[in-house]
Amino acid sequence: MELWMLLATALTLGAVHSLEPDHVAAVSSFVVRRPGRRAALGYGLRWSLGHGGIVLLAGSTILLLRLNVAEGAGAWLEKLVGVSLIALGGWVLVTARTLHAHQHVHEDGTAHTHLHAHPRDPGEPHPREHRHRHGATAFGALHGLAGTAPVVALIPLTSVDSAATGIAYLVAFGVGTALAMGLYAMFAGVLVHRAASFSGRFGRTLARVAGGATIVVGAVWLAR
């Protein structure tokens, strides 16, 4: 296969793979707690960094050292993903009631509304933000080790003619994942932000829906 075809395939597979239900559920659960274009894009890209980074590391190691992955490892990792999704969904449900708006007025009179999900301290005019930056990266890494990522990303390595080509395939796969997940997260963040800006109650409802959906997806991973 021509190199450009291999890389285009990897890019496409990475984009499609990123939008699987467990990935979307995890990123959505982070996004609804701090919706908005920039923050949501950050969550999507951090998830992609964890996912693409671990796939690149694992794939390169397997390729260079010619290792064989234990058959039972995937099943245990899928169970771990299920448990973590249930925990994440439960966390979102518990904190959904704290979702509220902050309005910032600039010197020129322009007002911006930012939505956050964290307890408000009456003694602080602008409560501290808990963005949980590393959580999205950790979930991305876990998803990269489990599920279909090893199959989609690593099987084609058996047909490449050099380690460099195989690593290039993994990099392209990660880029496709980041592009698609970043776009999805940004779209979801803008959508939730606009909806919640009209009604705080509606925003909290959306957060609860995202949390409940994440729990359901996690339960499915445990049951299958």
Q: How far apart are CA 53 and CA 170, in angstroms?
A: 9
Report how far apart, in Å, the C-alpha atoms of 124 and of each of 21, 97, 121, 128, 138 are. 38, 19, 6, 8, 30
Whole-number Cα distances in Å, 73 to 68, 77, 175, 192 = 11, 6, 26, 37
11-25, 68-82, 105-119, 170-184: segment of lowest average pLDDT: 105-119
Specify whether the CB–CB gap between 15 and 180 falls below 8 A: yes
Residues of the chain above pLDDT 70, percent: 73
What share of residues in the chain are helix, strand, coil (percent, to 5)? Answer: 75, 5, 20
State the pLDDT at residue 106.
45
pLDDT of residue 112: 46
| Both structure tokens of 90 | 């439960």
Token pair of 52 as six digits? 């693409």
One-letter amino acid for residue 107 of the chain: E
Q: Is the pTM of this model over 0.75?
A: yes
Rounded to 5 degrees, φ, ψ at 126 are: -130, 95
Q: What distance in Å separates the CA atoms of residue 171 and residue 7, rounded to the nearest whole number?
A: 9
> Angle between the 163-198 and 21-31 helix axes, to the nearest 10 degrees?
50
Whole-angstrom distance, CA of residue 62 vs CA of residue 55: 10
Model pLDDT for residues 19-71, shown as the tens digit of each residue: 999 999 999 999 987 778 888 999 999 999 999 999 888 888 877 887 666 66
129-159, pLDDT tens digit by residue? 444 568 899 999 999 888 666 656 666 665 6
Contacts for 162 with CB less than 8 Å, ≥ 6 apart? none
pLDDT band at 187 (very low <50, low <70, confident <90, very high): very high
For the chain, the average pLDDT equals 79
- pLDDT (tens digit per residue) in 98-136: 765 555 444 554 444 455 555 444 444 444 444 456 889
